[in-house]
Amino acid sequence: MAKIHIVGAGPGSPEYVTPIARKIVREAQLVVGAERVLELFREDLRGEKIPLTAKNIKETIKYAIRRAEEGMNVVLLSTGDPCFSGLLKTVINIVGGNLDFNIIPGISSIQACAARLKISWDEAALASFHEGADENRKDELLNALRRGKTAIVLPDPKAFKPREIAEFLIDKGLDELTPVFICENLTLEGEKIIETTLEEASKLDFGSLCVMVVKPSERK
């Protein structure tokens, strides 16, 4: 049986890596993950490591699975939590849903953002545009806000930036003065929380590592 663990690495700070994540990485014979995530486990790595990039992700994950099927203990590291805009969906898309794997959850930037802003995120609408900004995803965000839900959003730093999200929502009729919070570099040095409005956010650029929160003041 393949011994594959998909391990959440947290939002970026070593302090937010869970003890069980470090334990499983220490026991692994092969660890795969993005360079900045591998760096979080630098002191825990005992076996082979392979940096994961946008260009090699498919072939590298398939290679890791082959090694696991040969009996090797393999870890796939995911930023944040594997189950929310993390590596789980990518693995399933590449190899299908029949693979037997163990998931170790991590603290996501969504959770860190909610904690910073003191938001009960079980009542919020969650949206991720990391895998693209198609019209269905955009409409789901818009409709949630029109229902008066607070939205916690992971923008795409290339395809759908915070300023573009703000422009889209204004174009669709949301009040320009709707409160917006941008949480940059959560848990990292240089963490910043910016309180603004849709109108101002539509004119500003923000860091690539950010979470956007939109809080409609009234139901539409």
Q: What is the pLDDT of residues 2-16, one digit of tens each?
A: 579 999 999 999 999
| Count of domains forming the chain | 2
pLDDT for 97: 67
Specify whether 204 is located in the same domain as 144: yes
Which domain range does residue 182 map to? 110-214
Q: Final residue of a domain: which of 57, 79, 107? A: 107
Indicate whether 220 belongs to any domain. Answer: no
Q: What is the CATH number of the domain that holds 98?
A: 3.40.1010.10
Indicate whether 9 belongs to any domain. Answer: yes
pLDDT for 13: 97
Q: Concatenated DSSP letters for the chain?
A: --EEEEEE-BSS-GGGS-HHHHHHHHH-SEEEE-HHHHHHTTTT--SEEEE--TTTHHHHHHHHHHHHHTT-EEEEEESB-TTTTSHHHHHHHHH-S---EEEE----HHHHHHHHHT--GGGSEEEE-TT---HHHHHHHHHHHHTT--EEEE-BTTTB-HHHHHHHHHHTT--TT-EEEEEESTTSTT-EEEEEEHHHHTT----SSEEEEE--SS--
Specify whether 159 is located in the same domain as 136: yes
137-161 confidence digits (pLDDT tens): 999 999 999 999 999 999 998 889 9
pLDDT for 151: 98
**Which regions in the chain score pLDDT beneath 70?**
1-2, 97, 218-220
